[in-house]
Chains A and B, each alone.
Chain A
Amino acid sequence: MSKSIKLESPLHYFHAALNRKPEPVKSPAGALFNDEAEYGLVVKEATLSAHLNLRGDGSNAHFCSEVTEALGLMVPLTPGTYQRNGNTSIYWLGPSEWLLVEIGGDAEELETRLRKTLTGHISIVDISGGQTCINLRGPGVATVLKKSSIYDFEAWDNATSALGRAVQTNFAKASAIISNKSDGSYDLVIRRSFADYVAQWLLDAGEEFGCRIEAEKE
């Protein structure tokens, strides 16, 4: 597509939004984020990515091996988990439903690859335009999650680079798929139409720590 096509991510109008000039945050966790230690909550929106909703029978070994063949990734069958390989992640949403996200990926190419390999009763739906992936990091994250969700994130084991925990749950009065990362930060997949609300909620919830929203650098 032409370079003149103007793209707008769901948080387009919030990039570089700050809620205030925050006090320096002195926290051991702050050391992880030297360049922005003064912000207790940094929200970074990923580049536009491929998001596919995948339906199929998780109890069918054939289906699972086909997905692995197409993606080089195991289908997570344990509720509340995800598997990751590089930029590609597959999140468990239900016994027959997964979310596939390839950061910066091309949804059409990914769908074609899957359709070539997968057989039987399946469904693959491109939902890339309908959602976005944001990363929450900083010493304020744990508290902000407690403000926003009734889920017990502290009970999760730490993530590795290849797998971790994920839950689809309420986030304030919107919904999100929330997962942990090996660096201690959290990824949220949120819906586009709720993105303005979520951004305002995060700026508000992060106010006590100082919060800023930014875009992934291309």
Chain B
Amino acid sequence: MSLNRLQTHTGTTLDFTFNGKAYQGIAGDTLASALLANGVNVVGRSFKFARPRGIFGHGAEEPNGIIQLGSGAGTVPNLKATQVELYQDLEASSVNGWPSVNYDVMGIIGAFGRLMPPGFYYKTFMYPKKLWMTYERFIRKAAGLGATPVEADPDSYDKLNQHCDVLVVGAGPAGLVAAREAARTGARVIVADEQSEFGGSLLASKQAIDGLQATNWVASLVAELRACNNVQLLPRSTVFGYYDHNFLTILERRTDHLGLTAAQGVRQRMHRVRAAQVVLATGAFERPLVFAHNDIPGVMLASSVSTYVNRYGVAPGNKLVVFTTNDNAYQTALDWHETGRDVVAVIDTRSNPSGDIVAAVKAKGISVIAGHGLIEAQGNQRVKRALIAPINALGTEVTGPVRRLDCDLIACSGGWSPAIHLSSHTGAKPVWDESIVGFRPGESKQQERSAGACRGTFDLIGCLAEGATAGAEAAKMSGYGEGIPQFPCSAVEEFVEQPQQALFLVPHIKSISRAPSQFVDFQLDVSASGIELAVREGFESVEHVKRYTALGFGTDQGKLGNINGMAILANALDQTIAETGTTIFRPSYTPTTFGAIAGRDVTNLFDPERYTAMHRWHVEQGAEFEDVGQWKRPWYFPQNNETMQESVNREGLAVRNTVGILDASTLGKIDIQGPDAAEFITRMYTNSYLKLAPGKCRYGVMLKEDGMIFDDGVCACLGENHYLMFTTTGGAAGVLAWLELWQQTEWPDLQVYFTSVTDHWTTATVTGPNARKVIAKVCSDIELSNEAFSFMDWRDGTVAGVKARIFRISFTGELSYEVNVPAHYGRHVWEALMAAGEEFNITPYGTETMHVLRAEKGFIIVGQDTDGSMTPADMNMDWVVGKNKTFSFVGKRSLYRSDSVRENRKQLVGLKTLQGSDVLPEGAQVVFDAKQKIPMSMQGHVTSSYFSASLGHSIALAVVKGGHSRLGLIVHCPLADGRIIAAEIVSSVFYDPKGERHHV
């Protein structure tokens, strides 16, 4: 049996290690309760002064027990020991404390704590600025912010989208009865609680409800809820964010309690909840008292001491002093007394505590010292004694001699602070209420209400009543029930509490600035004197003081320290707490793993990969792939250890000399039908389609309103009032949306419908001098002669037994047939074409060769040679602009702006390097004078650049200022490696300038 484990508490023994030392706990323990059971005093070091710190709380508020769980890839930093459920072979270490928690080099700095006032980091480490990186590494290591794993996370996380009528946050007394009332109406209810068991404060309570012991009452209510099929219970689930439109996020820890390696399935699941109504029943945090050296291990919250005793069977010490401003903490004296260990005294700041519970404590023979403050704790790695002294009624001064009380545990309570965090997330401004000495949730903009302790109602009977009302009301507002609680009010016996005293800083015999540190925020070592100093240095706003002192910046988000800190600030500013206000809580309520936020959208599921019908054929041929939008397109088809350039040379020459085949299925395709289709298309493209006959195709360029090229492609007339528009691969969805936008918002009078057919058709482009011969072998019902089926025609026919549509469009400059079949037949037709082309050495080629071939012809690629600032004229494509169309077209007016017509715009030209083997890098800048001093006058840049095997030298497309009138000029491209490559401005059409090859 461990040192501090009560005999009455038994269970399965679990082995674990902490900072390399082996211990034993009991199933049901948290790491914190197990450490306390083993008498581990120091669990970490403070952030700034490296003071030894012990477990202080028992839940999300814990500021000190910040630990690193596990090691290797699965290690998790910055967990709170109070929230980590113990499992067999758990392995944990302190995140603070370097090199060890017990002997700490930073302790030297701690000894000079006064040399590190608030703003210390700003004042000391920010200058000189260039050294910050050096300082930061040291500070991080010294402060111990935990270590992130360097390997990939081995765990799996996922997300569920949930919808419910009533979401109940918190399964303490108020939450449970709220859920019961809502469930009864038939509403869909979700109950989320961050602990492993439902019950909240009742789990550590000895009260009786409806004649049952509190834990049994909880068990029966939970069983009742579990039996309802309209109720979803989520234990180990923290609601960490409350966003607009009643959208809340829950982190469910599914396997963390089983250990890091035992995990099967998802470790954590994020629930994204859209709730019609929300009941917040998040409870309250006990407020610590601020006295000198209140951070020594052995000082704890009163409710935490009770929780360890009652719930975990752990008495974390031997001789207890209770220090309180209220009746509530007297319960801790009773609970401790029950363990048989010594209650030294209850120190009460009130001059005449007179409640029933005070009498009950006195009746046990426990000494109650009223009108006193515990002004200082003494000890090093554990409390050894408390100094107490009489204080005045306002609690501002010590009024009598100091006495010493030997003890090893101080349980303190300054009252309770409602957990208003989630309410604050909604934008509700917390309201200070003197009667509860705390902030209540403000008026909310969301469909939510608070119930119980988080609303400032601290008695159990009140919590139960409020919970029932809130549950019934929430159900009604989501359309269920009458809004009136149906279950009878539970019978509860409890002490009626007398008023508490509002005390946020316990006076010392010395002034604040001279007294030993009175800690407000343990995690970041913010003391009362630090807050006062910030005020003396001129900070007034609570938001500024927060940032200057770091109050509330830790991973506990100031759950314990904030109220005391603000009250001390208010006092220093000589104003009320209401006037001072509070900082606003934001998500996340507790730290949330990135894994859960990413969910399954990782690795192969991170982004969809879109495949064509021939994808597997390409894979089987060993193709390398290129990402084009979400599509995977074959990039090149290497053979026999070819380099990419060797493949591209071979593929390109095959197209020029015999025949090649390209998977062009990814091009966007939009079917357009309606009596006004031609008119509509003519308004969208720069040229006219009014006279395009069935069986014919035309190339067009689409502009945005600013006159700049947005997309290009071929449009075919399929029949009367029926067209097929091709778009770029990446532009398909954008073009369809663009067409719909103009039709729906500008020209609803035009009768035309658009339908995407991109996925329906698979396209195999057969191109090269032998293309006709290949097609002829698999297609017998189309007259293929150049006279019968010319360039820019299309025909219906049958290819390899499949109904197909063939277009004579060419992006290579060679004789080309684009064979389109419904995608189910895609691979069949592709393989038939490959077989038919075998005797001509038909060569599959990828996007890289496609780019080279089109660049040889000077064909632009929108998005590569254009960047959203290029007009058709800039691209030397004035021929595609129909200037005499009856109706205007989108972007026309902008083509005549002064900027659009000015000379010296960047214009598309070809560049031919003087050394044919030099291939310019794409993006290279063009200058006219290579000897000009830096900064040089940039005259343009290279947009496309390749080595052309057909031509035997490199080719490039570039946009150069006034380029169209500078043909023949020698320009220079200075490169990052210091070389300067000279090139001549030439026509952008390098190959077959008369366009004879595709007209055969």
Between A13, A53, A124, the greatest number of chain B beta carbons within 10 A of the residue's beta carbon is seen for A53
How does the 8 Å CB contact mask read for A6-20 relative to B, with 1 for contact and 0 for none? 111110010000000
A1–B761 Cα gap in the complex (Å)?
Answer: 18
Q: Is the CB of B611 within 8 A of A5?
A: no
Asked if A87 is an interface residue, CB under 8 A from chain B, the answer is no
Inter-chain contact A129/B760, CB cutoff 8 Å: yes
Q: Return chain B residues, CB-CB under 8 Å to A83.
A: none
**B11 near A: Cβ within 8 Å?**
no
Instruction: Confirm or deny: B110 has a beta carbon within 8 angstroms of a beta carbon on chain A.
Output: no
Q: Is B772 an interface residue (CB 8 A)?
A: no
Asked whether, in the complex, the Cβ of B608 is within 8 Å of the Cβ of A8, the reply is no
One of A2, A129, A174, A197 near B824 (C-beta < 8 A): A129
Pick the interface stretch among B217-225, B355-363, B750-758, B960-968.
B750-758
Q: Answer whether residue A74 sits at the interface, using C-beta atoms and an 8 A cutoff.
A: no
Quote the shortest CB–CB distance from A145 to chain B (angstroms). Answer: 9
B687-745 residues with Cβ-Cβ distance < 8 A to A are none
A194 pairs with B160, CB closer than 8 A? no
Tell whether A5 pairs with B801 under 8 Å between CB atoms, given A123-B671, A147-B159: yes
- Contact present for A128 and B760 (CB under 8 Å): yes
Q: Does B854 contact A (CB under 8 A)?
A: no
Kindly state whether residue A119 has any CB partner on chain B within 8 Å.
no
- Complex contacts, B605 vs chain A, CB 8 Å: 172-173, 197, 200-201, 204
Contact B608 A174 (CB under 8 A): yes
Within 120-178 of A, Cβ neighbours of B (below 8 Å) are at 121-131, 143, 146-147, 149-152, 154-155, 172-174
The reply to whether A152 and B600 contact each other, CB–CB distance below 8 Å, is no
B673 touches A (CB below 8 Å): yes
Residue among B160, B601, B671, B827 making CB contact with A146, cutoff 8 Å: B160
Knowing A123-B753, A128-B760, A129-B760 touch, does A5 contact B671 (C-beta < 8 A)? no
Across the interface, B801 reaches (CB within 8 A) one of A1, A154, A196, namely A1
The one of B611, B673, B757, B824 in contact with A193, judged by C-beta atoms closer than 8 angstroms, is B611
Closest to B665 in A: A193
Task: Please determine whether B609 and A196 come into contact, CB atoms closer than 8 angstroms.
Answer: yes
Q: Are B161 and A149 in contact (CB under 8 A)?
A: yes
Give a binary string over A190-205; 1 marks a CB under 8 Å from any B CB, 0 the rest.
0111111100110011
The interface size bin for chain B is 35 or more
Of all chain B residues, the one with the shortest Cβ separation from A155 is: B163
Q: Quick one: CB contact mask for A99-111 with B, threshold 8 Å, 1 for yes?
A: 0000000000000
Q: What distance in Å separates the Cβ of A90 from its nearest Cβ neighbour in chain B?
A: 16
| CB–CB A6/B828 < 8 A | yes
Instruction: Tell me, in angstroms, the Cα distance from A122 to B758 when the chains sit together.
Output: 20
Chain A residue with minimal CB distance to B724?
Answer: A125
The contact of A127 among B753, B759, B802, by CB within 8 Å, is B759
Which residue of chain A has the shortest Cβ distance to B269 in the bound complex? A147
When distances are taken between beta carbons in the complex, the residues of chain A under 8 Å from B826 are: 8, 129
B162 close to chain A: CB less than 8 A: yes
Q: Are B825 and A7 within 8 A (Cβ)?
A: yes
Q: Is B272 an interface residue (CB 8 A)?
A: yes
With an 8 A cutoff between CB atoms, is B771 at the interface?
no
Q: Does A181 contact B (CB under 8 A)?
A: no
Q: Are B608 and A194 in contact (CB under 8 A)?
A: yes
Q: How far is the CA of A197 from the CA of B612 in the complex (A)?
A: 12
B981 at the interface (CB under 8 A from A): no
Q: Is the interface of A mostly helix, strand, loop or mixed?
A: mixed
A6–B827 alpha-carbon span in the complex (Å): 8
B762 contacts chain A at the CB level, 8 A cutoff: yes
Of all chain B residues, which has the CB nearest A193? B610
Query: A130 to B675, Cβ gap below 8 A?
Result: no
Chain A, residue nearest B758 (CB): A130
Bound: A152/B265 CA distance, A:
25
Question: B750 to chain A: closest CB distance in Å?
Answer: 10
CB contacts (< 8 Å) of B608 on chain A: these are 172-174, 194, 197
Asked whether, in the complex, the Cβ of B753 is within 8 Å of the Cβ of A55, the reply is yes
Q: How far is the CB of A198 from chain B (nearest CB, A)?
A: 8
Q: Binary interface profile of B, 265-309, with partner A (CB < 8 Å = 1, else 0)?
A: 110000010100000000000000000000000000000000000
Closest Cβ neighbor of B631 among chain A residues: A193
Let me know if A200 and B604 touch, CB within 8 A.
Answer: yes
B161 partner, pick from A10, A122, A146, A193, beta carbons under 8 A: A146
In this assembly, does B823 line the interface, its C-beta being within 8 Å of a C-beta of chain A? yes
* A36 interface residue per 8 A CB criterion: no
- CB-based nearest A residue for B800: A5
CB-CB under 8 A from A9, the residues of chain B are: 824
Most chain A beta-carbon neighbours within 10 Å: one of B616, B751, B760, B828: B760
For B181-196 the 0/1 string (1 means CB < 8 A from A) is 0000000100000000
**CA A201 – CA B603 in complex, angstroms?**
11
Closest chain-A Cβ to B293's Cβ sits at a distance in Å of 51
Alpha-carbon gap, A174 to B601, bound state (A): 12
Within the complex, which residue of A5, A10, A150, A154 is in contact with B828, where a contact is CB–CB below 8 Å? A5
Q: Which of B608, B675, B822: most chain A CB closer than 10 A?
A: B608
A123, B762: Cβ atoms closer than 8 Å: no
- Asked if A127 and B609 make an inter-chain contact with CB atoms under 8 angstroms apart, the answer reads no
A residues in contact with B822, CB < 8 Å:
126, 128-129
B674 within 8 A of A: yes
In the complex, what distance in Å separates the CA atom of A194 from the CA atom of B760?
12
Please tell me if A208 contacts chain B, counting CB pairs below 8 Å: yes
A146 CA to B188 CA, complexed, in Å: 15
Q: Known interface pairs A1-B802, A172-B605, A197-B605. Does A129 touch B761 (Cβ–Cβ under 8 Å)?
A: yes
* CA distance in complex: A121, B611 (Å): 34
Is A55 a contact partner of B600 (Cβ separation < 8 A)? no
Contact of B755 with A125 in the complex, beta carbons under 8 Å: yes
Contact assessment for B610 and A127 in the assembled complex, using a CB-CB cutoff below 8 Å: no
- A193 CA to B613 CA, complexed, in Å: 8
Q: Which of B601, B671, B674, B803 is close to A121, meaning CB atoms less than 8 Å apart?
A: B674
Query: Is B158 interfacial (CB-CB < 8 Å)?
Result: yes
Question: Closest residue to A96 on the B side, CB-wise?
Answer: B753
How far apart sit A73 and B433, CA to CA, in the bound complex (Å)? 65
Known: A1-B802, A204-B605. A121 touches B610 (CB 8 A): no
Chain B residue with Cβ nearest A3: B801
- Kindly list chain A residues whose C-beta atoms are within 8 Å of the C-beta of B265: 207-208
Task: Note all chain A residues with C-beta closer than 8 A to B762.
Answer: 129
B160 pairs with A197, CB closer than 8 A = no
In this complex, which of A147, A200, A205 has the most chain B Cβ atoms within 10 angstroms of its Cβ? A147
A193, B272: Cβ atoms closer than 8 Å: no
Q: Is the CB of A131 within 8 A of B759?
A: yes
Q: Is B607 an interface residue (CB 8 A)?
A: yes
Bound-complex Cα distance A44 to B600 (A): 23
A147 touches B158 (CB 8 A): yes
A7 to chain B, nearest CB (A): 5
Question: What 0/1 readout, one digit per residue, does chain B (646-678) give for beta carbons within 8 Å of chain A?
Answer: 000000000000000000000000010111000
Q: Which residues on B sit within 8 Å (CB–CB) of A193?
A: 610-612, 631, 758-759
Considering the chains assembled together, what is the distance between the CA atoms of A129 and B611 in angstroms?
A: 13
Q: Is A4 among interface residues, defined by CB-CB distance under 8 A?
A: yes
Residues of B near A121 (CB, < 8 A) are 674-675, 751, 753
| Residues of chain A within 8 A of B751, CB atoms compared | 121
From the candidates A8, A55, A146, name the one contacting B673 in the complex (CB within 8 A). A55
In the complex with contacts A53-B755, A130-B823, A194-B608, A152-B828 CB distance below 8 A: no
Contact B162 A146 (CB under 8 A): yes
With CB as the reference atom, state the residue of chain B lying closest to A151.
B161
A48 sits at the interface (CB 8 A): yes
A40 to chain B, nearest CB (A): 13
Q: How far is the CB of A34 from chain B (nearest CB, A)?
A: 23
B824 touches A173 (CB 8 A): no
Taking the closest CB of chain A, its distance from the CB of B449, in whole angstroms, is 23
Q: Within residues 789 to 828 of chain B, which ones have a CB less than 8 A from any CB in chain A?
A: 800-803, 821-828
A48 in contact with B824 given A55-B755, A150-B272, A193-B610 (CB within 8 Å):
yes
**Could you pull out 7 A-B pairs where Cβ atoms are within 8 angstroms?**
A8-B826, A121-B751, A125-B673, A129-B822, A150-B272, A196-B609, A196-B611
List the 10 closest pairs (A to B, CB-CB), nearest first: A130-B759, A129-B822, A130-B760, A123-B753, A123-B673, A197-B608, A129-B823, A55-B753, A193-B610, A152-B163
| 5 extra A-B contacts, CB within 8 A, seeds A172-B601, A193-B759, A200-B605 | A130-B758, A146-B160, A173-B608, A174-B608, A194-B610
